[in-house]
Structure 1
Amino acid sequence: NLQLLTELDFAMAKGKLSLDMKAAAPALNSEGRIVLHQARHPLIKKEDVVPIDFELGINYHSLVITGPNTGGKTVTLKTCGLLTLMAMAGLHIPARSPSEVAFFDLVLADIGDEQSIEQSLSTFSSHMKEIIAITELAGPGSLVLLDELGAGTDPSEGAALAIAILNFLNQTGAYTVATTHYSELKGYAMNTEGVENASCEFDIESLQPTYKLLIGVPGVSHAFSIAQKLGLSQDIIADARQLISEESARFEQLITAIESSQKEIDDKKSEADKLQRELQEMRRTLEQEKEKIAKEKQELLAGAEAQAAEIVNKTRRQMEEIIESLEEKRAEQRLGHRLESELRGQISEVEKELSAHRHKRSTDQQPGEIEIGERYEAIDLNIEGVAKSLPDAKGQLVLEAGQISFSVAADRLRPVGKKPKAAGRRPRAGQAAGRTAASLTTERKMHATTELMLRGMRADEAIAAIDHFLDDAVLNGISPVRLIHGKGTGVLRQVTQDYLMRDSRVDSFRMGVEGEGGDGVTVAKLKL
């Protein structure tokens, strides 16, 4: 538990430090790249520190920083080393994203003056002792930080030794950052592949360093300018200028011009960055406004849709109530039609039984020789009539009953004079019912027709008429039939066709064609 609490406390401490420094998480790599944007030294107050942009390991492996004293060279060196170690330790770094730090095997540094009277070490000796240890350890995957390389001895020898050390480190593959005052190292950096110049900017007017790092621009000491600003005699300064070589003077002037141009470029870049940030801020504001307007629009649309949905639902409920009421009435009508159909079916069954009974009873009876003008009874139809012709080759003859003539089989006739009678007896109930059913059937057959007039009827009247009409048509074997509903508003036509679609006696139906009544007539084919 103590170990867990320790780890949690350490994690909370790292988070608190990150918040206090306004730090960010850098990207890590193993290729030696260090890219820092607006990096700050973690031990200098945020209000006082000047952020720097630093780069190493992309186009060059070694960086030589030159410039006057108190210009910020050593702070730049320490910022690079500290932020690298912080990232490797899992801490956020005080730099703006996206910054990037490499994970090095070794971070080797010689910073500060380790001179000691007790150990008889001079400034040069103390630096050299550290550099010897560094050269023994440095190699690929190492970051080497050297402050005031070659200082503390004869300038010409110190410069030569510094160049040799930088050459060695560059050949080992180490990543090196070194500060120096030697002009020779400026030329070395300009002419050596993998090595780049850098300088800390200095304001001549105010005689104050700006602490801005300028990569690609070698630094100058500005010794003559500073001395002149401080009031040193012009004669002395003129004499000093004559003592340096013409080439060195031109070199210093060139560097000063480059530094001035770089400063102007940086100012313009800063202004452009500021404008870009303002543009991005405006874009974010516009996007937020756009999202706000879109959200309000969606809310308005959602409200309108909800209101419309409520109206639709209310209307649907009202329609469902109306439909339910209509269905109840229709169900009542269907019940009446069903009862009527059942009754008619029962009558038809009784007729069939009576017909079968008569057929069985008269099987052995023969009509004898048919005589034209004599009266006969059609047994199956229970109709009496006068024979108007003799039987043909198929045994059919014409029987006339009143104004109706019809064809019947001769063997299904019985002379009226030969009809069996039960003397003194009344007909039995079954026989009376049979004669009544037969009479009803005959009457319906005699009045059967191929068309039904529906015009002027109400919907319920039309449905009842259609049902009765279809019964008669099926009973008489009539198909197709015509139902005349007229054109009008189309309501009667719709009622007619809806009923035909549901009726099992109907095989198919269609609208009338030219000559049949057109849209005012529906022609139905029945299942016989």
Structure 2
Amino acid sequence: MQLYPQNLESKIGFDKIKELLRAECLSILGTRFVDKVAFSDDFKLISKLLEQTEEFRSIIVSGEFFPESNFIDINPYLEKAKIEGSFLLEEELHEVKLALSTLHKCLRFFEGKEEAYPQLYQLSGAILFEDNLLKAIESKIDEKGHVRNNASRELAEVRSRLSSSQVRLRKVLDQIMRTAREQGYTPDDASLTIRGGRMVIPVLAEHKRKLKGFIHDESATGQTVFMEPAEVLDINNEIKELEYLERREINKILTALTNQLRPHIQDLRRAFYFLGMMDFIRAKARLALKLNASLPKLEKTRVIEWYDARHPLLMLSLSQQGRSIVPLNLALNHNKRILMISGPNAGGKSVTLKTVALIQYMLQSGLLVPLASHSTVGIFQNIFIDIGDEQSIENDLSTYSSHLHSMKFFTQFADKKTLFLIDEFGTGTEPAFGGAIAEAILDQLSGSGAFGVVTTHYGNLKQMANNNPNLVNGAMRYDVDKLEPLYELEIGKPGSSFALEIARKIGLSGKIIEEAKSKIGDERVNYDRLLTKLENEKGRLAAMTKEASKKEVLLAKQMEEYASLKKSIDAQRKTLINDAKIEAKRLLQEANQKIEKTIREIKEKKADKAQTKEVRSQLQQYEKSLKPEAKPIENAPDVKVLDGPIEIGDHVRIKDNGAIGEVLGVKGKDVELLIGDLKTNVKLSRLEKVSKKEVKKQTTRVKTNFDSTKKMMDFSSNLDLRGKRGEEALFEIQQFVDEGYMLGLRELRIVHGKGDGILREICRNLLHKMPNVKRFQDEHADRGGAGVTLVELK
């Protein structure tokens, strides 16, 4: 396995990936593993590392709780505890306790989860952990890191005596302090303090001989001394002795705990290696989530079939700027092994090259990569790169010499297990010679069976890619009209450098451009012009295809809705016709029977005029009963309908809901009405003129019929049309919106469902024409989305 050059990681940006990985670790236990991350060509190892990370990514995504605190490195404490006769301090054992508790929680997390997380379960299963040690430490050390009072009978007794002595000491000193303060022997703001581990009182220097006791210290100015009164000397001595006893008993307890820990040191080292690995694997999973990385399909053979590949560092940088990266698709196999990328400067060639290098290196280092999950990634044994300027003053190498030095290494060691990446191949010397040497080198690399990605401006290399079956051209797309890079890789054709177009765009003299063309030669200019034209045509074709696809989708949807509506209407029509035929047949039979009966009765009465007249009257009554009845308006006032045009000042009735109002204005087919205290606009076709006198007589009744308070109480701002026919829906929407507007509501909600979209289309077409409607839109996705229309009224 070979990597070239030695600083490959920094040249492709993998050192920055490591920095991001360190930032995701919770402890030094994890960061130590980051330092050990290395490129590997071991297929089984790479697979295991990737699967471990993918499993932990699933844990994070699922929301399951996994310990996130107290990943403490206890190895220094284990090293200390290894020595016979030594013991760990209280705070050290407290940290050991916290770390053991975290280890215990991690191991318990994987219990019974062998199927869900097989790789991580396997890691946890190799750990020997005795929770007796944790219980022993917890029984002696409390949550604040101190030895518990009940850690031993002797300690409990000593601390009880110590507490009593301290209380007694405090009472005596408080009394002495009060007396001294009353006599003016102490400063005004003085309080009890400790000096040399003994409790003392501050006394003004000029009064120090007025109290019996021992001076332990004085203030910086010498104006105050700190005195231990003679009355508390014995009590302080007793406290000191008890503190010595307490310390000896604590050391005895700590020694016993350390002795209990010592036999487990080797097991604990392995256990905390596992804890560090968990921190490291979680850091890899957290980074994968930030990069939207995934686990692609892994192949032992050499293959590159990548979809939506993104340079991780560039993606994070653009994301911070609120911009998105343009992903690339790439495919190399044993037939087409070397990709030759051409295109203008700053078009994304070098970024594409580094994307390939960094993603491949990340994957073979056990990291999930920013690719679509259905991508396929092969394993390479060697990675060689030649990116950037490697000129060396010490070795007296120019830029071109350093490139040739790299090419020497490539040609010597490249084989079918190698992935090489070369940026700006052949540049740095005279183009004719540089291009020729580059072509010869590329021919040898092609013969080695190696895979590679190369960027170049040289036309002879593009031509070589067209003629060599192992090479394939690729172009970084460019917006020729705007002269802006699109950062899209297109495989199968070479790219133009657009040198003449860029020169013309920035305003270089036409004379200079024409002279440059003549020096280049017609063949080269025509070739470049053909590439430019091809790029233009591709751009236009892509735009037309996109627009055609949109129209095709819309047309298919409308055709589907039309077919569904036609089917529904045809079915309704057949049903109505069939019902009408049945009813007509029944009426015809009944009418015939009536007529026959009438004729028979007339004949039987022998044309008696009176009786004949009565029989005819009965027949006429029957005829009237067959006429369709006018649909009554619910709760409509009983007023006389007048003929003639509707004008300002007339009283009118709305046909479909019976509301009566006064005409305030007429504008074409729209009429402005005053109904009670409410103003509204109604279509002229929906109104009928009524008698003013009768309206006045029916005022009370009309008010009763359209009681806005009652309407408001009964009115629902939610209309459900599901299951309704089109004609039913139209009537209900019209009435629903009018009443909502008259009641002063500003927002209504119409539920029509998604289905085939027919009711939705009918509803929105009607709303679009209604003058009372300000706007309408889909409901929020969580509350029905496109199946519900929110209507905002004016």
What is the TM-score when the length of structure 1 is the normalising length? 0.50
What is the TM-score when the length of structure 2 is the normalising length? 0.34
- Based on CA coordinates, which of the two structures has the bigger radius of gyration? 1
